[in-house]
Amino acid sequence: MLKTAWTVAIETLSWMEMQKLSEHMALNQTVKQLGVKDADAIRYAYGLVVETIRRRNLIDRFVNSVLKPKTISELNLGVQAFLRLYVYQNRVTKNWAKTDLIEAERIASLGRAILGWKTLLEVEPVLGFLLTRQIEPLLKTASDEARTGLQTFHPTWFVKYCFRLFGRDEAIAFLEGNVNPPPTYVRLNTLKASEDELLEKLGAEDVKLEKAEPLTHVYKVVGAKKPLAGTTSFKEGLFYIQDKASCFSTEAAAPKPGATVLDVCAAPGAKTTYIAQLMQNRGAVYSVDYSLRRLQVWKREVARMGVTIAEPVLADARAALPVALEADSVVLDPPCTGTGTFGRFPSAKWRLTPRSIEKMAEIQWQMINRCAEAVKAGGALTYSTCSVTMEENELVIERFLKWHPEFALAEIRPEFGAPGLRGLSKCRRLYPHLHESNGFFVAKLQKNNRC
């Protein structure tokens, strides 16, 4: 099992480096390519990959201090992956303290067996140094922003951005909270049964839950004897695994039974299925997404959750929507940089640049303008992202309000989160270190009745 897991981990990291894939996509591609069936090996490999890539900047800086004048980026992709995993397993998991030489030699032997001894020959001399070199000198010589980035595993440019946005102390609290994934939450599906019945069924499968106040059907998972997706309750659509920040943004939209709702960027279906649940499967939901592959997933989730009022629409929301309707509620969760989800998807940290924020903000601007056209008089547009940057959030909303005086910010219920920045106190922000959720932004824009 160990050799299979390390083979999968090395290949997954190599795909991520070569094609800039996410953890999940690279793992799926690797498992399919290698034909691996061992679920335990796959889970173990995924854990190695995620925890290694989470700390990639610190690990690479450490490896480069031993390799110099060479850098890790000059090496074969498989060797790069192995060295990162080698340092993670031998040093990071032991908090950079005394290493287990027997384990280290076993891992080196695995590397030779997987990659070939000739491939590893170039770095064999440095494996011993990687076991004895200390990390503190590297941290001491770094600037304040660079050191904070190494200690919290974030790019230096993003640390500087957060220092400017939040101030140093609050930025560090956020960055530390953004390191690890928040708790797992489930949203109970009252389209299938009453909440009490659902709790009883999940309890019978040894899933222990704790209510996530002040949200309506959302619970934190505090214990489970097996993966949630492997439970009978999951297969029967009795719950949806969904971060509470995402649930909050849907509750903020407050769709009513019998309403017409436009769900934009709807796949893979978390928003659509919760909207339909809040509407008690009465009314109409039109779910727009540009990706046919993602809409296939959407169809499976909609069917699993027992939703009967949703229709898929394949379209790019930056262009004119192919549905002529006036919606009571438009819910827009556009593509974003995901800077509030680094704990859950750490590889995104290393793919982003400051330019990424500008590019996303422009896409979001195009989409929110298109969505405004579909809101009926007296209706509302709910905008949310899983990013904490101001350019993708408050600045988009400020610009929107200047261009669309027929809209005004509305109060959001339930009361949750922190107020928006730049005086937009009716907007809500969620942070990992404060709210045990992904970082999120939500704004609700009400259209006046005279339009």
Query: What pLDDT, on a 0 to 100 scale, did the predictor assign at position 319?
Result: 86
Q: What is the mean pLDDT of residues 190-218?
A: 96
Which residue's structure tokens are 């080698």? 86
What single letter denotes the amino acid at residue 315? A
Instruction: Answer whether residue 124 shows pLDDT above 80.
Output: yes
User: Model confidence over 178-191: pLDDT tens digits?
Assistant: 999 999 999 999 99
What is the rounded distance in angstroms from the CA atom of residue 249 to the CA atom of residue 246?
5
Query: What pLDDT, on a 0 to 100 scale, did the predictor assign at position 451?
Result: 57
Return the top range by mean pLDDT from 37-46, 119-128, 425-434: 425-434
Query: What pLDDT, on a 0 to 100 scale, did the predictor assign at position 323?
Result: 76
In our burial notation (b when 16+ CB lie closer than 10 A, e otherwise), range 141-178 reads ebeebbbbbbbbbbbbebbbbbbeebeeeebbbbbbbb
List residues with catalytic annotation: 386
For the chain, which domains are there? 2-140 (1.10.940.10), 151-177 (no CATH), 185-241 (3.30.70.1170), 245-447 (3.40.50.150)
What is the rounded distance in angstroms from the CA atom of residue 178 to the CA atom of residue 439?
8
Instruction: Answer whether residue 324 shows pLDDT above 90.
Output: no
Query: What pLDDT, on a 0 to 100 scale, did the predictor assign at position 321?
Result: 78
Indicate the range of 6-15, 94-103, 391-400 predicted with least confidence: 94-103
What is the crossing angle of helices 39-54 and 2-19, to 10°?
50
> Omega of the bond prior to 268 within 30 degrees of 0, cis?
yes
Q: What would the two tokens of residue 121 be? A: 């020959």
pTM of the full structure: 0.93
What is the rounded distance in angstroms from the CA atom of residue 393 to the CA atom of residue 289?
21
Instruction: Answer whether residue 446 shows pLDDT above 80.
Output: yes
Q: Among positive and negative, which fits the CA dihedral 250, 253, 254, 256? A: negative
- What percentage of the chain reaches a pLDDT higher than 90? 91
Query: What pLDDT, on a 0 to 100 scale, did the predictor assign at position 450?
Result: 72
